A and B are shown apart, each in its own frame.
Chain A
Amino acid sequence: MIGKKSVVISVVLYFCIVTPLPALSQKSYSFAIVPQSSATEMVRVWTPFIRYLSKKTGEKFVFKTASTISAFEKRVGKQQYDFAYMNPYHYIIAEKEANYVAIAKQKDKKLEGILVVSDKSDIRDISQLSGKTIAYPSPAAFAATILPQAILLQKGQKNHSKYVLSHESVYSTVSKGLYPVGGGIMRTFNALPAETKNSLRILWKSEGYTPHAFAVHSRVPSDVQEKVVNVLVAMHANEEGLRILKNLKMKNLEKASGIMWNDVRSLSITTKTEITN
């Protein structure tokens, strides 16, 4: 009853105090984040960032995400978002196909992918992987999937890919011997329980690649773009901004331009994306 009452009261209060849904007299900009976890978790993590941005720029930003990476790709491809935070591969495609331009990225951050095998495995080098089935978290995971696939492809290897949905699944299936090798990243590997971690061995580690891009659609007025860039690069300089960045597991941001992702472009990735469709 109390729950019901409080719902009633909060609803009534909402109508009394908060004005009906945004009158939208002011132009708002959608700010999309590539889905990395559940939508509500995304809201929880990213809305402080969006609010901060709105507050600091004086512009109105609306948080957006998609339920799947595929859906996100489609919307990027349709150029639905004014701003978008996306992985390096998405970015180079979006830049080429959908009029998005990078404006910022994490400073001093490189993405590294790893391949792990069982501690008891006799595989000692990636040259031995040809024809093997490799476990990956998901097709769109840049460091854990796209990077190893691209590298192996460059080396002329043909492998079977098996997507097991999460990094944890990759590590445990390899540990149990279901698959001989799996793709991951250092951060998630280090976070494993000791038992699992000790049963695995890092076979290969990629070079570092430019991380995710904050990109803007070319239709967004340049003054707005400029305001956003200014706020982003200055975030780590104040306490509130720093706290928000910390929650996002970022240190600081810097201004970026498209050429910074040439390392990624050089991989000649062929993975299919919905951006181009």
Chain B
Amino acid sequence: MKNSFALKIVSSIAIIEIAFISAIILGDLSTLKQEAESEFRKRVSVITEMFANAATNSLIATDIANLKHLAEKLVADKDISNVIVKDNEGNSLIDMGDENLDEIRKYIGNSTQVLNGRTHFVQKTILVSDYLVGEIYLGFSVEYITSTLNAATKKTIGVASIGLFLFSIFLYLLSSYISRSFSDIKIAAKEIAVGNMNFRLPVTTTDELGQAAYALNTMAEKLKEDKKLKDSVIDSAFSALVILNEKVEIVKHNAVFSAMFNTYDGAVIGKKLSLFCDIENTSLFDYDYIFKKFSKSAVTTVRPKGGETIPVEIKAVAIVINGKNHLLTYIRNLSDQKKSEKAKDEFISVVSHELRTPLTAIQGGVRLLLGGVAGELNKKSRELLNLVDANSRRLILLVNDILDIQQYEVGGVRYNFSLFDIGTIIEEAVKLNHAYADEYDVMLESIVDMDRDLYLNIDYDRIMQVLSNLISNAVKFSKKNSVVSISAFRQGDLAVFSVADKGSGIAQDNHSKVFQKFFQSDSSSTRKTKGTGLGLVISKNIVDAHGGKIWFESVENMGSVFYFSIEIAKNIARRTA
């Protein structure tokens, strides 16, 4: 079997070779025979003609001695067996050879130029100027041809056989070499296929097979490098990475996985994932469970066997390996993240308590002083205390806003949704901000251009916070005695609230920065407006949380209009309370 390829090549080419050589030999022998016969006839013709010419004078002169001499010379040639010379009176002047003339004439009579098997006879009449001088009969042995042909046949077949033999040996050696090389390549390919990336073929020649071996080695090297790269990518990943087959058996995993589940390479490959952990407190999970639950990443918990529950984010990606479904599963340990969030919460808590408490105390003390608790204040003291009060109030606002922002960004804000009608919302908003507008000598007006009894499902306090932000901004930027309009109108399924002022407006260049943190329309040091630059950011977070949209229109020195939309609650027509 080892040499089946070689034997196939040798046998098939040898058969073709034999067929070809046979055809060539047969053709050659046929040609040779024709040539030999042609040569023979030519020779017969030439000898007969020469003998006739040489004998003519002697024949005319009846010079028997010379004729005999000529005839003897002729029969000395072993191929010429008969020489008969007759004069013009029919007298036999020369008669050499075994056959008698009557017998010879029978052959010649039938056909003058046909071989009779052993001797070919020719007759020639010698005429000189139409005068019959005599005639000659010559017998030529055809054994010359047959022996030549036989010798040629033997020689040709001999040479062909030797050639075929040598050719077959050469072919066998060549095909054995090719077969062996193919076999080596096959073994190498198998080794590489099972993952033996260090297997290399010796490259001993520069021919195609040598090149093939070299190419295979190069491929193995490349695969090795690719695998190394892939393994290093997988191993250096921050997440645990595990490839599972349809039976949720581990096909591949990385070092993070080993560390997370306190195991090692040899112990996990081919084993079920459930042997190493529970997911969401269960070990009853299968391929579909993982795929459906985690095809979009989800936060959950896993508990390594014999270990403690870990908060994780899992994402499963379906991949196909060798035509079979697999899951590439990332498991990200969220423990550290949770810890940092907790630290941040604690920090915020510290800030809220440690900053706000003294600030409140400061503000309380200042207000008590302004209220005359420590006696009547003179004008200068009152002014200074008013300044302290205003700044402490601003500082409290800033702290509150920062805390709010932190809450919104970590998604830690809890919303209490309930139904409120449009009319109430608008009225309350105007009422709530009336005092503030008075401070700036700005009038508030409300316009409800829709059904006031339509309900919105909102966190009332947060929406009030949004409206208050927008109204206070509008008031701040409005000129004295100007009007800020608070409106509500319907747009399809949405209720749109707007707050419009005729203030300084926002420069076109700043439009894109309006919802960024700490943005101030008037960033000059002499600005008269007060704020933290966080209000619009907080408002956007709140509107987003209600599934709505917030936007604005503004022309510098002409004023601004801020809008936000909230979906109208369906199937609830009237306030129940």
Give A residues with C-beta under 8 Å from B: 3-4, 7-8, 10-12, 14-15, 21-22, 24, 28, 35, 38-40, 42-44, 47, 51, 62-68, 71, 75
A38→B60 CA distance, assembly (Å)? 10
Provide the residues of chain B in CB contact with A64, threshold 8 Å: 62
Expressed in whole angstroms, the minimum distance between the Cβ of A155 and any Cβ of chain B is 37
Provide the residues of chain B in CB contact with A75, threshold 8 Å: 62
Provide the residues of chain B in CB contact with A65, threshold 8 Å: 60-62
Does B549 count as interface, using CB distance less than 8 angstroms? no
Provide the residues of chain A in CB contact with B58, threshold 8 Å: 39, 67
Asked if B56 contacts A47 (CB within 8 A), the reply is no
- What are 28 A-B pairs at a CB distance below 8 A? A4-B45, A7-B45, A8-B113, A10-B125, A11-B112, A11-B123, A11-B125, A14-B125, A15-B109, A21-B86, A21-B135, A24-B89, A38-B57, A39-B56, A39-B57, A39-B58, A39-B59, A39-B60, A40-B56, A42-B60, A43-B129, A47-B130, A51-B131, A66-B63, A67-B61, A67-B66, A68-B61, A71-B61
Besides A11-B123, A44-B128, A47-B129, 9 new A-B residue pairs in contact (Cβ under 8 A), listed by A number = A3-B45, A11-B112, A14-B125, A22-B89, A40-B128, A44-B129, A65-B62, A67-B58, A67-B61
CB-contact partner of B61 in A10, A12, A35, A62, under 8 A: A35
Provide the residues of chain A in CB contact with B125, threshold 8 Å: 10-11, 14
Interface flags for B139-173 (1: CB within 8 Å of A; 0: not) read 00000000000000000000000000000000000
Does B124 count as interface, using CB distance less than 8 angstroms? yes
Known: A47-B128, A47-B129. A62 touches B45 (CB 8 A): no
Asked if A43 contacts B131 (CB within 8 A), the reply is yes
- Smallest CB-CB A-B distances: 4 pairs: A39-B60, A39-B57, A67-B61, A67-B63
* A8, A47, A67, A75: most-surrounded residue (chain B CB, <10 A): A67
Q: Which residue of A lies closest to B90 (CB)?
A: A21
Asked if B61 contacts A66 (CB within 8 A), the reply is yes
Provide the residues of chain B in CB contact with A10, threshold 8 Å: 125
Expressed in whole angstroms, the minimum distance between the Cβ of A93 and any Cβ of chain B is 20
Q: Which residue of B lies closest to A5 (CB)?
A: B113
In chain B, positions 99-150 with a C-beta closer than 8 Å to chain A are 108-109, 112-113, 123-125, 128-131, 133, 135
Q: Which residue of B lies closest to A14 (CB)?
A: B125
A64→B62 CA distance, assembly (Å)? 8
Interface residues on B, range: 20 to 34
Q: Which residue of B lies closest to A60 (CB)?
A: B89
Q: Which residue of A lies closest to B67 (CB)?
A: A67
Does B41 count as interface, using CB distance less than 8 angstroms? yes
Provide the residues of chain A in CB contact with B133, threshold 8 Å: 43
Give B residues with C-beta under 8 Å from A: 41, 45, 56-63, 66, 86, 88-90, 108-109, 112-113, 123-125, 128-131, 133, 135
Provide the residues of chain A in CB contact with B109, threshold 8 Å: 15
A28→B41 CA distance, assembly (Å)? 38
Provide the residues of chain A in CB contact with B131, threshold 8 Å: 43, 47, 51, 63
Asked if A62 contacts B124 (CB within 8 A), the reply is no
Provide the residues of chain B in CB contact with A22, threshold 8 Å: 88-90
A8→B125 CA distance, assembly (Å)? 11
Expressed in whole angstroms, the minimum distance between the Cβ of B413 and any Cβ of chain A is 122
Expressed in whole angstroms, the minimum distance between the Cβ of B136 and any Cβ of chain A is 11
Known: A4-B41, A22-B90. A43 touches B128 (CB 8 A): yes
The secondary structure that dominates the A interface is helix
A62→B177 CA distance, assembly (Å)? 87
* A14, A22, A42: most-surrounded residue (chain B CB, <10 A): A14
CB-contact partner of A62 in B56, B57, B88, under 8 A: B88
A264→B422 CA distance, assembly (Å)? 185
A3→B135 CA distance, assembly (Å)? 18
Provide the residues of chain B in CB contact with A3, threshold 8 Å: 45
Q: Which residue of A lies closest to B61 (CB)?
A: A67
Expressed in whole angstroms, the minimum distance between the Cβ of A191 and any Cβ of chain B is 24
Known: A39-B56, A67-B61. A7 touches B124 (CB 8 A): yes
Expressed in whole angstroms, the minimum distance between the Cβ of A98 and any Cβ of chain B is 17
Asked if A66 contacts B62 (CB within 8 A), the reply is yes
Expressed in whole angstroms, the minimum distance between the Cβ of A43 and any Cβ of chain B is 4
Q: Which residue of A lies closest to B88 (CB)?
A: A62
Q: Which residue of A lies closest to B45 (CB)?
A: A4
A220→B530 CA distance, assembly (Å)? 182
Expressed in whole angstroms, the minimum distance between the Cβ of B34 and any Cβ of chain A is 14
Q: Which residue of A lies closest to B128 (CB)?
A: A43
Q: Which residue of B lies closest to A66 (CB)?
A: B61
Provide the residues of chain A in CB contact with B62, threshold 8 Å: 64-66, 75
CB-contact partner of A24 in B45, B61, B90, B123, under 8 A: B90
A67→B58 CA distance, assembly (Å)? 6
Expressed in whole angstroms, the minimum distance between the Cβ of B289 and any Cβ of chain A is 101
Asked if A8 contacts B112 (CB within 8 A), the reply is yes
Q: Which residue of B lies closest to A3 (CB)?
A: B45
Provide the residues of chain B in CB contact with A68, threshold 8 Å: 61
A15→B41 CA distance, assembly (Å)? 21
Provide the residues of chain A in CB contact with B124, threshold 8 Å: 7, 11
Expressed in whole angstroms, the minimum distance between the Cβ of A213 and any Cβ of chain B is 20
Q: Which residue of B lies closest to A51 (CB)?
A: B131
Known: A21-B135, A47-B129, A67-B66. A62 touches B89 (CB 8 A): yes
Provide the residues of chain A in CB contact with B66, threshold 8 Å: 67
Provide the residues of chain A in CB contact with B90, threshold 8 Å: 21-22, 24
Expressed in whole angstroms, the minimum distance between the Cβ of A240 and any Cβ of chain B is 16
A179→B131 CA distance, assembly (Å)? 42
* A8, A21, A64: most-surrounded residue (chain B CB, <10 A): A21
Known: A11-B124, A47-B131. A40 touches B113 (CB 8 A): no
Asked if B63 contacts A71 (CB within 8 A), the reply is yes
* B58, B61, B112: most-surrounded residue (chain A CB, <10 A): B61
Expressed in whole angstroms, the minimum distance between the Cβ of A116 and any Cβ of chain B is 31
A80→B261 CA distance, assembly (Å)? 143
A67→B93 CA distance, assembly (Å)? 15
A71→B65 CA distance, assembly (Å)? 11
Provide the residues of chain A in CB contact with B113, threshold 8 Å: 8
Q: Which residue of A lies closest to B129 (CB)?
A: A44
A65→B88 CA distance, assembly (Å)? 13
A67→B56 CA distance, assembly (Å)? 11
Asked if A12 contacts B63 (CB within 8 A), the reply is no
* B45, B56, B57: most-surrounded residue (chain A CB, <10 A): B57
Provide the residues of chain A in CB contact with B45, threshold 8 Å: 3-4, 7
* B45, B60, B108, B112: most-surrounded residue (chain A CB, <10 A): B60
Provide the residues of chain B in CB contact with A47, threshold 8 Å: 128-131
Expressed in whole angstroms, the minimum distance between the Cβ of A172 and any Cβ of chain B is 26
